Amino acid sequence: MKLVFGTAFLVMVAIGPSLAATGAASKGKVRFADAATDACLRSCATENESCKRVCPTTFSTPCLNSCDSRMQTCREGCQRNRP
């Protein structure tokens, strides 16, 4: 009985660090994906602000709607490109 528990303990000690490293690596990928998506969304927001600054005062509504549409398309692209 001691031999079984001893063997199980040694197997866990040998395999444990590799399993922990695998978990850390997958968490790192998730953080990278979130950071990339956040950067993409910030870029969309910046482009939207620039687009709206250029809109003329006389035809502002169609221009603002166009900017908002581009912003929505950009956001959807950010979500689709997540790894």
Q: What is the pLDDT of residues 18-62, one digit of tens each?
A: 444 444 444 555 566 688 999 999 999 999 999 999 998 887 899
Those residues with Cβ within 8 angstroms of residue 67's Cβ, 6 or more apart along the chain or in another chain: 48, 51, 52, 55
For tokens 């603002």, name the residue. Answer: 64
Total residue length of the chain: 83
Those residues with Cβ within 8 angstroms of residue 75's Cβ, 6 or more apart along the chain or in another chain: 41, 44
pTM, rounded to two decimals: 0.56
Domain map of the chain by residue range?
41-83
